[in-house]
Structure 1
Amino acid sequence: MYRCSIFLHALYFLNYWFVALQGSELNLSNVFLLKGKDLFMELKTQQPTSQFVWRFKIKNNIIRYIPGQKGDFENVYGKRVFNKELNYSLQIKNVGLNDSGLYHAIDSGAQETIIAGYNVIVQERVSPVVLNVSSVSPSPGSCNVTVTCSTQSSSLNSTFTCTPRTCSEDGGDPAEVVTSDARLNLYLSNGSIGICNHSNKVSRSRSTMDIKPLCFKDGKIRANIYYLI
């Protein structure tokens, strides 16, 4: 009995890695989705002729369909929808972060064959940004403005040098902070507009500020330039 149990477990893991290998060779479609939205995964091939399943993270069955029998719907989170009329596609309503991962459509007849694959990444909406002036420092013929771009979890700053005609970024490159799920940029546009941009694949928050008027008025250094902390 013990040997039989070991044999069955060995078969399971061999099948697991076989399907995983198929998935690595499959051209997966990357899907980025905002948390709370509905996800639709389409099966673009012809309708299966044998037992068919949608599977999450290789081993978790979501639904199963057997031709000639009543569909066996396996409900995972209480929000799955399997719609035969939509070419065996799978819809997931109100996705959460835990819904991120690999989804495979599998024809599981005599031999399991992956016929569609999706790599789903669910992301939250990025937090708002705040763009503030940190300091304004005049010098003969030019003026330096340092601004700070902040979110709930990170911040960065950059100094812009302005003349009566235009402003430029010190060092020439935009300031940037990149994390695993978002990007925070601070840069100059059109020679005067400072832009703070917080974004990921599904959302964006932005704040802008006209830099040059902080230094110049009517082509001359402002008389009331002050220092900010």
Structure 2
Amino acid sequence: MHLCSIFLHALYFLNYWFVALQGSELNLSTVFLLKGNDLFMELQKQKPAGQLIWQLKKIRIIRHNPKGDTENFYGTKAEFSKNNYSLQIKNVGLNDSGLYEALDNSGRKDEVIAEYHVTVQEQVSPVVLNVSSVSPSPESCNVTVTCSTQSSSLNSTFTCTNQTCSEDGGDPAEVVTSDARLNLYLSNGSIAICNHSNKVSWSKATMEIKPLCSVMNATSSPRVQLIIISSCLVGFIMAMCILGICYYKWRKNNHPTDNRETHSPGSDDQSPNCDQSTTVYSFLEPPSFPLEPIPCQTASPEGIYAQIENHGSV
């Protein structure tokens, strides 16, 4: 009986301690909030019997007495409700993170009647998912992808067969910082997912990797490689033939053959250096010196001279 009594008392003590601990934890609320949103806090259980004080990191925000007078130390950013004693902080920033407390100042010692542990976070940056390498083989295919953000990156290799893909090592790649988490993992045996998240936001990029192995295996077969090489060789030969024909036509048009006709000594054709038209000189007055035709290198045409003289009237 004595041992049973001790056991019951110990069990009662543990139960009382657990209830008290649970009750103290219920007064503390953990809140994660996106930067720029509004924070709303209220008294969930106990109402103040005397003066109420809202404070952040021991710095007063609101002081409200039972007479209804309210003193605001936060300006327009804080809004207090006299009906339910709630407090609203507008457009929160990173500096608004911390422990908010509601104190009842009715007794000799301030009693904490509400607590909010608030963490303000920014929107996470977008992610970029790229293929780093693809290594095909007859049995399997290894695909390495890289997931990156503005501040961190990670990569992971997936092994794909005809049936499905799996992660090397079995565990997803992960980078954890103080305010965000970056994960790279495989879903449905074929889809690589990169996820960047924190408590208030997330961004994700996906990529199906199994078709990459199918394309690489198709292009890496000996038959396909022979076809590609043959096509490139035929195309090169045709291009050289076309360039040769174009060059021949250009050379023929810009450098014609000099077909010169031979002339007999008694031919009537004139030298190309002389003007074949009859030269006519016309003067209004008699010249002061005799005129002679300009000699050519070969036979010169006869010059026709015409003079206009003044004749007296008949």
> Given that residues 93 and 120 in structure 2 are in contact (C-alpha distance below 8 angstroms), is that contact kept between their aligned partners in structure 1?
yes
Give the counterpart letter for 1:98 in structure 2: N
Give the counterpart letter for 2:142 in structure 1: N
SS of structure 1 residue aligned to 2:219: coil
Distance 1:175 1:120 in 2: 30
Q: Percent identity?
A: 69
The structure with the greater share of residues assigned to strand is: 1
Q: Call closer, same or farther: CA 1:51–1:194 in 2, change over 3 Å.
A: same
SS of structure 2 residue aligned to 1:48: coil
TM-score of the pair, normalised by structure 2 = 0.60
Q: Look up the match of 1:222.
A: 218
TM-score of the pair, normalised by structure 1 = 0.82
Q: Look up the match of 1:29.
A: 29
Query: How far is 1:147 from its partner?
Result: 0.3
Q: Which residue, out of 194, 207, 210, partners 1:209?
A: 207
Q: Look up the match of 2:81.
A: 83
> Given that residues 103 and 111 in structure 2 are in contact (C-alpha distance below 8 angstroms), is that contact kept between their aligned partners in structure 1?
yes
Q: Which runs of 4+ in 1 moved over 4 A?
A: none
Q: Which residue, out of 136, 139, 142, partners 2:137?
A: 139
In structure 1, the gaps of 5 or more residues are 1-24
Give the counterpart letter for 2:91 in structure 1: N
Is 1:64 the counterpart of 2:60? The answer is no
Once structures 1 and 2 are overlaid, which stretch shifts more, 44-53 or 184-193?
Answer: 44-53
Query: How far is 1:188 from its partner?
Result: 0.2
Distance 2:218 2:186 in 1: 21
After TM superposition, list the pairs within 5 Å mapping 1:173-212 onto structure 2: 173-212=171-210
SS of structure 2 residue aligned to 1:221: helix
Query: How far is 1:97 from its partner?
Result: 0.4
Is 1:40 the counterpart of 2:40? The answer is yes
Query: How far is 1:42 from its partner?
Result: 1.5
Query: How far is 1:168 from its partner?
Result: 0.3
Query: How far is 1:47 from its partner?
Result: 2.8
> Given that residues 33 and 39 in structure 2 are in contact (C-alpha distance below 8 angstroms), is that contact kept between their aligned partners in structure 1?
yes
The structure with the greater share of residues assigned to helix is: 2
Q: Which residue, out of 80, 101, 105, partners 2:102?
A: 105
> Given that residues 26 and 117 in structure 1 are in contact (C-alpha distance below 8 angstroms), is that contact kept between their aligned partners in structure 2?
no
| Structure showing greater Rg | 2
Deviations 1:156-179, CA, capped at 9 Å, x for gaps: 000000011100001111000000
Query: How far is 1:224 from its partner?
Result: 6.0
Aligned residues: 196
Query: How far is 1:72 from its partner?
Result: 1.7
Query: How far is 1:26 from its partner?
Result: 4.0
Q: Look up the match of 1:10.
A: none
Distance 1:70 1:128 in 2: 48
Deviations 1:101-154, CA, capped at 9 Å, x for gaps: 000000012221000101000000100000000000001221000000000000
> Given that residues 68 and 82 in structure 2 are in contact (C-alpha distance below 8 angstroms), is that contact kept between their aligned partners in structure 1?
no
Give the counterpart letter for 1:146 in structure 2: T
Give the counterpart letter for 1:37 in structure 2: N
Give the counterpart letter for 1:104 in structure 2: E
Give the counterpart letter for 2:31 in structure 1: V
> Given that residues 103 and 119 in structure 1 are in contact (C-alpha distance below 8 angstroms), is that contact kept between their aligned partners in structure 2?
yes
SS of structure 1 residue aligned to 2:71: coil
SS of structure 2 residue aligned to 1:50: coil
> Given that residues 66 and 72 in structure 1 are in contact (C-alpha distance below 8 angstroms), is that contact kept between their aligned partners in structure 2?
no
Give the counterpart letter for 2:197 in structure 1: S
Give the counterpart letter for 2:59 in structure 1: N
SS of structure 2 residue aligned to 1:207: strand
Query: How far is 1:84 from its partner?
Result: 1.6
Give the counterpart letter for 1:137 in structure 2: S
Give the counterpart letter for 1:195 in structure 2: I
Over the residues paired in the alignment, what is the CA RMSD in angstroms?
Answer: 1.7
> Given that residues 175 and 187 in structure 1 are in contact (C-alpha distance below 8 angstroms), is that contact kept between their aligned partners in structure 2?
yes
Give the counterpart letter for 2:122 in structure 1: E
> Given that residues 46 and 113 in structure 2 are in contact (C-alpha distance below 8 angstroms), is that contact kept between their aligned partners in structure 1?
no
Distance 2:68 2:196 in 1: 51
Give the counterpart letter for 2:71 in structure 1: D
SS of structure 2 residue aligned to 1:223: helix
